Amino acid sequence: MFIALRDLWRSKLRFGLLTGAVGLLVFLLLFLNTLSATLLDFFIGAIESNSADVLVYEETARRNLQASRLDASLIDDIAAVPGVVEAAPVGELTLTAQIGEDLTDLSLWGVDLDGPGRPAPIVEGRPPGPGEVVMDESGMAEGFKIGETITLVPSGTELDIVGFVRDRRYAVIATAYLDFAEWVAVFEAEFPGTPVVPLSLIAVDVDDGLDPAVVGDRITTAVAGVEGLDRTTAARGTPGVDSISQSFNLIVGITFGIVVLVVAFFFLILTVQKLRSFVALRAIGASVGYLARSLIIQVIALVTLGSLVGAGILRVATLGSNPAFPLSVDGRLVLTVTGAVLGSSILAGLLSVGRIARTDPADAAQGIR
Amino acid sequence: MTAINVDDVTKIYGEGHTAVRALRDASLELRDNEFLALLGPSGSGKTTLLSVIGGLLAPTSGRVTIGDTALAGMSKKEQTRFRANRVGFVFQGFNLVPFLTARENMTVMGSISDAPRSEIEARADQLLDELGLTDRKNNLPEQLSGGERQRVAIGRALVTDPDLILVDEPTASLDTELGTQVVRLLATEIKTRGKAGIMVTHDLRMVEYTDRTVRILDGELLDEA
Amino acid sequence: MQLALAEIRRRRGRWASITGAVAFIVFLVLVLAALADGLFIGSTGALRNSDADALVYSVDGRRSLVRSQLPLAMRADVAAVPGVADAGALGVLLATATSADEAIDIAVIGHLPGHPGEPTRRSSGRPLGSGERFVGLADESLRDEGVALGDSVLLTGSSQPIEVVGFVSDSQYLLADTLWVTLETWQALRSEVRPETIGRGDVVQAIPFTVTDGVTVATVGSAVDAALGNTETVTTDEAILSLPGVEQQASTFTAIIAVSFVVVAIVIALFFALITLEKRGQLAILKAIGSSNILLLRGVLLQALIATVAGYGLGFVLSRLLAFVLPAAVPVEFLPRTALTLFVATIVMGALGAVFSFRRIVRIDPASALGGEA
């Protein structure tokens, strides 16, 4: 403590610069994590936070909702699978919508309002009735507010927004939910003369206490041409999710490694610089343990301070973030990242401890300058 | 009472034909309250002897006993504690910690030795006063003159109230007046506090302040001059 | 000079540390850039390697190659606008196919061979003939999925296999492999895979066109929009950035890379400042024996140059090695231009860091060499 804090205090510039560097790197880590979490949320929130236990896709769709096309007749087959309480149709259609004066993309979901896949819980407003929709609340940024009316282009169908749900965005565009029967009408208006109205998914609720993944497998086996998946598997399996999360994991991993290396290198250099002092302190009776504790205290102080700086920058950065892409400071993420960086940095600091342990206190007496 | 007993100590550095025999069958006895000058040219083994007595170097053969403690039987850990609690070193290069102030270079012993911190701090202030450093106590080593640094190093050696004070060339970088002053100060501290002290020097003028002189040449101790 | 080199040689551990730190940061930025480039390239190939100068979309299609709808008949109207050299047509069908028991995402792009909008980088096989049915050019990325020249690809929901008669490179669309077919084939496939679109009749997604020499694309674009009404004409470059996610990705990565760069600068400057601090005594002696500041600066710069060049080299090699172990889902693309830019930037940053630390050398008082022990 004694040595550690005084050394920190007397080398403010050095430690300040390093704290800044660690802070920026931690910010980068936090920022990347936040970015990827928000991105994934926007991308597959509608699947990951769906109210249904199991989502059934067309087998050849590769868990791609937009490529999945199911026939309504399958609903009864799926409902008959043991463990299935109820099965309901889900249709998704991405189209252009006019809200106020603006044209924007809209992902329109037709669901059984009381069955599996229902838009719930409603966080604001009320469930939709005829000619009404509830939206994912992030749509606010694009101008979708309760009380506004959406006009679908080019069909001209009008839909009133009466409520909001949370974390139910899909494919990074504004997402609305309405009754399945109305969705079918929208689909037919969008594709005049269509011979079929394909379902995108079939949403399934399973018996209490049953593992959705198991029931999903049962459905896959029992019904030809479909694949039943629990929400998490379905969300993670959505094409593109892999690319996004792996790309980000890669960057985060590398950045993490760099934080640790920078801390390790820095302390190693500092240690080598102060080797004479360490030798002298060992000669006058300081144990390696004592010096190691001093060094580790410095590492902890520095990384903690750096993480605070990083979290602070993130806070500032999120203040200026685009409302269409809400980035927020997740306290648990900050703690996790700080903890991981701290743990690894302490390990990295042991490198320097090793260097101190290798010194020979007898050298102090030799008067080597 | 016998404070230091060096019995037939030999120290060899290196191996084979590059081996250097720094000490040959050195024997020495020192009583409490005794201040000994170890006199010899450079390379004669003075510093090695000091290191062996202070528990910094293990002798190749022979034994060293401090009070009733044999150094040979100690583990590394015990040696470290021995140095922290019972030995006061003043190294040739002073070896002050550059990022600690004059006072902190002394009080740092409060976290290294087993002595209570408050005791160390009180003694540090007293020593700063005795050594005439009170005005300089908040200066870093780089802001101190050579003599001041030397005195801080002496203060650090005395602050734990050790049984044994080992001083290596205290006057090497000081002028005669300052050198004399520093050695006189050391002698006073050793005498008034009842310690055993060894001072390595090659400056004959400093001998008058010590009780006894032992000469060392090529690692061999020659009796009093 | 001699001194600078000797120091690096004698203090190998320390300089290796600096080089290592630089290497890892270079590695990070290179991989970031490769990811950004990979995403950009994989998303935009279909439009980037097109010979069209501009694309006409429907207004409500909002520059989306999937949602825009225009009657095919409009192609003649576009071609008739003064300044338009030639007009083609583009239709996109997002589908899946099964190859070697693996389902793959395929963007089937219908176009008019010989007219604007066709892929320009054919790597093997033969070009498509006008109106030729159920043959296609596959993107090179389909080779990785096990598709070879002469193989047939069967789309899910379709009864007609498409024979691959050639390959084109760098023609991906939003990270999906592409299969380029004639407009006629595309229409046939669409009504099978997406029967609901039958009622829409003869529509395409966009009309790409080229302009005659001497006129600007923007002027012609305005003329097209004026003549057709209810269309939005954008240059190919704009169309590329308007692809879903492309601009956001680009700006996100630019932000990440910029932050990384700030960190590079600080860290490198920090290391050099440290090294210089440590050498203060030694530099004081050199100044005392008559070295000029310039001479010392040259040494410091040379050291920075060596450390950054070595660090860059190491980071570069590391990033290339990473490409071997990356999962296929991560799109990376190493562009020589990006690597070169980063090379120059790293050296400049290193030099700046060195100069920053050099200010400390200038302030060293040669007399302090005589003061001795600190």
Residues of A in contact with B113 (CB under 8 A): 285
Question: From CA A331, how far away is CA A308, in angstroms rounded?
Answer: 11
DSSP three-state, residue A111: strand
**What are the C-alpha distances in Å from C354 to residues A20, A73, B72, C162?**
18, 73, 51, 61
DSSP three-state, residue A239: coil
Closest CA to C249 of C239, C237, C241, C258: C241
> Minimal Cα–Cα distance from C373 to chain B, Å?
8
Angle between helices A241-273 and A12-48 (to 10 degrees): 170
What pLDDT sits at residue A361? 86
CB contact B147 to C (< 8 Å): no
Q: Within its chain, how far is the Cα of A154 from the centroid? A: 35
**What are the C-alpha distances in Å from C277 to residues B3, B123, C283, C354?**
45, 35, 10, 12
Question: From CA B127, how far away is CA B105, in angstroms rounded?
Answer: 12
Backbone angles phi and psi of A132, in degrees to 5: -130, 155
Kindly determine whether residue B140 and residue A10, on different chains, have CB atoms separated by under 8 Å. yes
Parallel, antiparallel or unpaired: strands A226-230 and B87-90: unpaired
Residue pair A74/A362 in contact by the 8 Å Cβ criterion: no
Q: Are residues A153 and A299 in the same domain?
A: no
Kindly determine whether residue B149 and residue C373, on different chains, have CB atoms separated by under 8 Å. yes
Mean pLDDT, residues C257-276: 70
Q: Tell me: the pLDDT tens digits for B59-85?
A: 999 999 988 888 888 888 888 889 999
Q: Are residues A227 and A80 in the same domain?
A: yes
Parallel, antiparallel or unpaired: strands B2-13 and B20-31: antiparallel
Nearest to A2 among B47, B92, B111 (CB): B111
Question: From CA B150, how far away is CA B208, in angstroms rounded?
Answer: 20
Residues of C in contact with A21 (CB under 8 A): 263, 266-267, 270
- Please name the residue of chain A whose CA is at the shortest distance from the CA of residue C196: A194
What pLDDT sits at residue C31? 86
What pLDDT sits at residue B224? 58
Question: From CA A192, how far away is CA B38, in angstroms rounded?
Answer: 110
Kindly determine whether residue B98 and residue C374, on different chains, have CB atoms separated by under 8 Å. yes
* Concatenated DSSP letters of B92-110: TT----TTS-HHHHHHTHH
C169 contacts: CB under 8 Å, gap ≥ 6: C49, C121, C123, C139, C140
Element (H, E) at A11: none
| Domain end marker among A237, A272, A288 | A237
Residue pair B95/A274 in contact by the 8 Å Cβ criterion: no
Residue pair A205/A85 in contact by the 8 Å Cβ criterion: yes
Kindly determine whether residue A367 and residue B111, on different chains, have CB atoms separated by under 8 Å. no
Residues present in chain C in total: 374
Closest CA to C31 of C343, C332, C361: C332
Q: Are residues A8 and A147 in the same domain?
A: no
Q: Is the peptide bond preceding residue A154 cis, with omega within 30 degrees of 0?
A: yes
Kindly determine whether residue A285 and residue B95, on different chains, have CB atoms separated by under 8 Å. no
Mean pLDDT, residues B105-111: 90
Question: From CA B151, how far away is CA B145, in angstroms rounded?
Answer: 10
Residues of C in contact with B146 (CB under 8 A): 372-373
Residues present in chain B in total: 225
Q: Which amino acid is at A313?
A: I
Nearest to B80 among A287, A366, A367 (CB): A287
Kindly determine whether residue C372 and residue B146, on different chains, have CB atoms separated by under 8 Å. yes
> Which chains share 3+ C-beta pairs under 8 angstroms with A?
B, C
Surface of C (114-153) touching A: CB under 8 A: none
Nearest to B83 among A1, A283, A290 (CB): A283
Question: From CA B3, how far away is CA C60, in angstroms rounded?
Answer: 100
What pLDDT sits at residue A320? 67
Mean pLDDT, residues C352-361: 74
Question: From CA A148, how far away is CA A130, in angstroms rounded?
Answer: 15
Structure tokens at C199: 């009622």
Q: Give the domains, in start order, of chain B with CATH numbers.
A: 30-58+74-222 (3.40.50.300)
Backbone angles phi and psi of A286, in degrees to 5: -80, 135
Closest CA to B32 of B57, B6, B67, B8: B67
Element (H, E) at C256: helix C246-278
CB contact B168 to A (< 8 Å): yes
Closest CA to A231 of A209, A217, A213: A213
Kindly determine whether residue C373 and residue B98, on different chains, have CB atoms separated by under 8 Å. no
Structure tokens at A145: 């507010």
Q: Tell me: the pLDDT tens digits for B16-45?
A: 788 888 899 999 999 888 999 999 888 888
DSSP three-state, residue C252: helix
Q: Tell me: the pLDDT tens digits for B204-218?
A: 888 888 999 999 988
Q: Are residues A63 and A182 in the same domain?
A: yes
Low-confidence stretches of chain A (pLDDT < 70) are 1, 320-326, 366-369
Nearest to C278 among A20, A194, A273 (CB): A273
What pLDDT sits at residue C374? 35
* Cα end-to-end distance, chain C, whole Å: 28
Nearest to A10 among B56, B91, B99 (CB): B99
Question: From CA C158, how far away is CA C197, in angstroms rounded?
Answer: 14
Nearest to B99 among A7, A282, A286 (CB): A7
- Please name the residue of chain B whose CA is at the shortest distance from the CA of residue C374: B142
Q: Are residues A121 and A34 in the same domain?
A: no
* Concatenated DSSP letters of A249-271: HHHHHHHHHHHHHHHHHHHHHHH
- Please name the residue of chain C whose CA is at the shortest distance from the CA of residue B93: C373
Kindly determine whether residue C156 and residue A272, on different chains, have CB atoms separated by under 8 Å. no
* C373 has a pLDDT exceeding 50: no
Q: Which amino acid is at B131?
A: L
Closest CA to C52 of C185, C237, C216, C187: C237
Surface of C (32-51) touching A: CB under 8 A: 32, 35, 39
> Minimal Cα–Cα distance from B136 to chain C, Å?
15
Higher pLDDT, C29 or C112: C112
B42 contacts: CB under 8 Å, gap ≥ 6: B202
- Please name the residue of chain A whose CA is at the shortest distance from the CA of residue B165: A284
Residues of C in contact with A197 (CB under 8 A): 196
Question: From CA A122, how far away is CA C296, in angstroms rounded?
Answer: 70
What pLDDT sits at residue C368? 61
Burial of B204-219, coded b for 16+ CB within 10 Å and e otherwise, reads eebeebbebbbbbeeb
Closest CA to B97 of A12, C282, A16, C374: C374
* C260 has a pLDDT exceeding 60: yes
Q: Tell me: the pLDDT tens digits for C276-319?
A: 666 666 777 777 777 777 888 888 888 888 988 999 999 999 98
Surface of C (153-192) touching A: CB under 8 A: 156-157, 175
* Concatenated DSSP letters of A59-93: GGGTT-GGG--B-TTHHHHHHTSTTEEEEEEEEEE
> Minimal Cα–Cα distance from B84 to chain A, Å?
4
Q: Is the peptide bond preceding residue B59 cis, with omega within 30 degrees of 0?
A: no
What pLDDT sits at residue B199? 92
Please tell me the pTM assigned to this model: 0.77
Q: Are residues A183 and A69 in the same domain?
A: yes
What pLDDT sits at residue A274? 82
Q: Are residues A135 and A182 in the same domain?
A: yes
Domain that holds residue A177: 46-237
Q: Are residues A86 and A51 in the same domain?
A: yes
Domain segments of chain C: what residues?
Answer: 2-44+247-371, 46-243
DSSP three-state, residue B32: coil
Nearest to A1 among B54, B111, B156 (CB): B111
Backbone angles phi and psi of B70, in degrees to 5: -90, 125
Q: Tell me: the pLDDT tens digits for B145-202?
A: 888 888 899 899 999 989 899 998 887 767 788 888 888 888 988 888 888 999 998 8
Higher pLDDT, C235 or C373: C235
Question: From CA A145, how far away is CA C91, in angstroms rounded?
Answer: 34
**What are the C-alpha distances in Å from A212 to residues A57, A77, B115, B156?**
15, 17, 66, 72
For A85-94, C174-183, C348-357, which range has the lowest pLDDT when averaged over its residues? C348-357
CB contact C14 to A (< 8 Å): yes
Surface of B (60-119) touching A: CB under 8 A: 77, 80-85, 87, 89, 91-93, 95-100, 104, 107-113
Domain total for chain A? 2
Closest CA to B78 of A285, A74, C291, C2: A285
Biggest distance spanned by C-alpha atoms of chain A: 98
Closest CA to C179 of C160, C165, C191: C165
Note the ipTM here. 0.84
What pLDDT sits at residue C81? 93
- Evaluate the CA torsion angle B30, B31, B32, B34 in order and state its sign: negative
Structure tokens at A241: 């999710």
What pLDDT sits at residue C369? 56
Structure tokens at B107: 């009080």
- Please name the residue of chain C whose CA is at the shortest distance from the CA of residue A244: C330
Parallel, antiparallel or unpaired: strands A122-125 and A132-136: unpaired
| Domain end marker among A237, A263, A281 | A237
User: How large is the C-alpha radius of gyration of chain C?
Assistant: 29
Question: From CA A36, how far away is CA B85, in angstroms rounded?
Answer: 57
For A244-248, B51-55, C148-152, which range has the lowest pLDDT when averaged over its residues? A244-248
Closest CA to A255 of A72, A8, A32: A32
